[in-house]
Structure 1
Amino acid sequence: MSNRVAKELADFLLQIEQRSQFHAGYPYNLSCDYSVIAKFFNFLLNNAGDPYIEPDFGLHSRMFEQEVLSFFAHLYKIPENQFWGYVTAGGTEGNLYGMFLAREIYPSGILYSSQDSHYSISKAAKLFCIKHNVVNSQINGEINYEHFEDLINKNSNYPAIINLNIGTTVKGAIDNLDKVLEILERNQVKDYYLHCDAALSGLILPFLDGAPQVHFQKPIDSIAISAKFIGSPLPCGVVLTKKKWVEKVETAIEYIGSTDTTILGSRNGHTPLILWYALQTRGYDGLAREAKTCIHNAQYLFQQLKIREYPCMLNNFSNTVVFQKPSQKLIKKWQLAIFENWAHIIVMQNIEREKIDTFINELLLHQRLVNNSEDFQLQPLVH
């Protein structure tokens, strides 16, 4: 390796290390260490085709993928003989897959999703030519149930394809599955497909006492979960659905000795290994502790902002704290996500209370400078 190449890599590593210290606006767990399995990155791993069919091609990680899927099937209460899924490239692919299945099952169906749904839902509607009705959102980011019922009532002769947000991108709001089911029953809609976009909260809600119950014991049809909360150096996620739906779309492919059941043909074989390692080393109890810690730290950040009368909002069972947009200097330093006059911090495992205290002090200092107010006093932070 030349000196130039070595220097460029060293400079980039330093930049990434520095930027990782002040990363707060996007939902990524930066507290993970996968050095133990780094040796596998010297090998090709391609999980092309169905995760449950052994192909002629031998360089794959299907055995690890199957164990990962079993963990999520147990977490979301669907029997082994009734579920199907695969490790995706991320939450967007999981959403695309749910919408694809829904379109195949109900070709004349109408898609309903809220204004706060992830942009991949409207993308799926365009890709798969699904008629799309956007439902108004409440101020907290949750779907507006009255508007949803009005749209359902006007189109009750058509099958309903419904995307439910289990933690919206911007505000962390959770759409109420039970209310949606009541509306469908009240309007006598028999043909419907329920997809749950649980990109971030899918690995938080199941571990929280009193949290809304979202699982396959209720009539949901698919769920997309990102690996953001687990943490991974490579974007990935999981999609789960009912085996009977996948049978409607599978196609035998002689070339790979498997069936084509996924969105992508070739699939990353390293990500199932990463997820398997994370689940094996942290387990159910470890993930539960992490989820509760993130929620408690989000509540701490919210309370510290409230004490100082800084405009803010936090949904129940969410780790996304929304607050008034600060100075551009802070937005840049802390890599905050902004939208209109608001910003948010998503409290992941690497956002500990010491880092929250640092952010609060910087926020208030910058606010003081912006306001140029002599009576604006920094208040001490108390744990």
Structure 2
Amino acid sequence: MGPYVPVNKFSTNGREPSDYDNQAMMIPDQIDDMGEKRILVEQDFAVVEVEPKDEESCAAERLHHLTKIVTQFQDHLRERASNHLGYPGNHNCSHYLALSTLLQFNINNAGDPFKESDHGLHSKKFEVGVLDWFAQLWGIDKDEYWGYVTNGGTEGNLHGILMGRELLPNGILYTSQESHYSMFKIARMYRMDCGTIASLATGEMDCNDLRDKLLINKDRPAIINVTIGTTFKGAVDNLDLVVQTLIDCGFSDNQFYIHCDAAISGFVVPFLKQVQKFTFKKPIGSVSISGHKFLGCPMPCGVLITRRRYIDLISRNIEYIASFDTTIAGSRNGHSPVFMWYVLNLKGWRGLEQDVQKCLRNARYLRHRLKKAGISSMLNEMSITVVFERPPDNEFVRHWQLQCLENMAHVVVMPHVTVEMLERFLSDLIRKRNTWYGKVQPPCLAEDIGICNCACPVHACKCKN
């Protein structure tokens, strides 16, 4: 048996840290009190409890040690954020430092956001302000909606599908094969029958397959998840076509429920002109979005909006919290609504629109450069997700923190992604690619992203887009 090597807990997926580009430990070397370089190892992260001989000096020493480790972790995070391309998180978060004084308070939004609580340390007024903003964004009047600030997109999906199941207990959940993985987990948790719908090469739900499956199960209601920005290809399901398909198959309004998972593109689509909008003016039941993705809150959070008349199905009065139990979670993060309220006010509609336009522009730039370099790639309309051939080098993938699926990888062009960052990535990719593929050809992606987007020798000359 070989020697035990401590695992750096800052490494990716619990594996040994990458030595890519001389970053063997993922954290810059630190100089300790003896003037010697050191790196953080596993024992630095143990939670220890010792009886101090000199309580005051021991406390000071412990505080110094903890501060040093947190500072090193901050350096690590700063380095990782500078190369963060594949995951849908916005790392422009420095403006939130203005709210750091709130961390001295334990803020708990337990219970219904529209019901005051005897627990005085809550931020429900901020929460309702955020909810009103999203209700206006998604076209539903204040007296017709209900919602809350969640712990993320998955919780919003949990609540939205719960509404559908409570309204239609015998309903079948229909969701595309490119839906977020939480949908299939929800089906298992709620013990719901789930029909997986095929998707097009773009990642959009195939409504022909939806029609076929609806007709097979005409005797049972339909609970449909419509994705506004699929996880991997950034595709937007055609809500109008889904509704028309339901009508064509003979489903009346009381026989279907539509939930919109807008975690990724929920902040993009509303700011685009001449595109189909997802709105409560259409027959949808709920919408969920993530706050830590495009908006860039520094903690996972999100928003769920549904129709007020539905919430009585699950509402229960809880006397000892002096509120109603209407949410998935009991205690809820009271800081998140303040952070969301702050950035929505700080940026305003114009600032958010500028972020959207910047991301779309940079995504098109990346797609153009990949195509010019002869690399198979795809960018959907209304999307900030650029899909391209999967690099065969795991060190490269970890360094740029790319998400990969089969033969594909993607970059999600969030507001923190600059042209300079993309140039560094492209330069690295093109340089490394020359060594990855000698006489061996890059993979064909025609089936994954469409013939016209594939740059392999077979398809490169067949379609010019």
TM-score of the two chains, using structure 1 as the length reference:
0.96
Render the CA deviation track for 1:85-104: whole Å, top value 9, x for unaligned.
00000000000001111111
Query: Max radius of gyration: which structure?
Result: 2
The farther-off stretch of 30-39 and 88-97 is 30-39
Aligned match of 2:296 in 231, 234, 237?
231
Matched positions, count: 373
Aligned residue in 1 for 2:106: 44
Take 2:389 and 2:127, find their aligned partners in 1: how far apart are those partners?
42
Q: Distance in 1 between matches of 2:373 and 2:417?
A: 20
Q: Which residue of 2 aligns with 1:380?
A: none
User: Which secondary structure does the structure 2 equivalent of 1:252 belong to?
Assistant: strand
**Percent identity of paired positions between Structure 1 and Structure 2:** 43
1:149-298 equivalences under 5 Å are: 149-190=211-252, 191-227=255-291, 228-298=293-363
Superimposed CA distance per residue, residues 158-178 of structure 1 (whole angstroms, 9 cap, x where no aligned partner): 110000011000000111011
Partners of 2:420 and 2:241 in 1: CA distance:
39
> Aligned partners of 2:384, 2:117: CA distance in 1, in Å?
41
Q: Which residue of 1 aligns with 2:399?
A: 333
Partner AA of 1:26 in structure 2: Y
Equivalent residue of 2:69, what SS?
helix
The whole-number CA distance in structure 2 between the counterparts of 1:297 and 1:181 is 33
Of 306, 310, 327, 2:375 maps to 310
Give the aligned residue type for 2:288. A
Partner of 1:120: 182
CA deviations over 1:351-381 (Å, ceiling 9, x no partner)? 11111111111100000122347xxxxxxxx
1:3-152 equivalences in 2 (<5 Å): 3-32=64-93, 33-152=95-214
- The code of the aligned residue for 1:336 comes to L
1:135 & 1:281 partners in 2: Cα distance? 40
Can you list the C-alpha shifts for 1:243-269, whole angstroms capped at 9, x where unaligned? 001111100000100000000011000
Q: Secondary structure at the match of 2:328?
A: coil
Aligned partner of 2:403: which letter? A
CA distance in 2, matches of 1:356, 1:211: 27
| 4+ long deviations beyond 6 Å | none
| Residue of 345, 350, 354 corresponding to 2:411 | 345
Provide, for residues 321-369 of structure 1, a one-character-per-residue CA deviation record: whole Å limited to 9, x for no partner: 0000112222111100011111000000111111111111110000012
Q: Which runs of 5+ in 2 are unaligned?
A: 1-59, 440-465
Measured in 1, the distance between the counterparts of 2:405 and 2:250 equals: 38
Unaligned runs of 5+ in 1: 374-383
1:203 counterpart SS class: coil
- Per-residue deviation at 1:7? 2.1
Query: Helix, strand or coil: the match of 1:84?
Result: strand
The amino acid that maps onto 1:31 is N
Q: Which residue of 2 aligns with 1:379?
A: none
Q: Distance in 1 between matches of 2:261 and 2:81?
A: 27
Deviation at 1:6, TM superposition (A): 2.3
Shift of 1:232: 1.1
Tell me the distance in 1 between the aligned counterparts of 2:108 and 2:218: 44
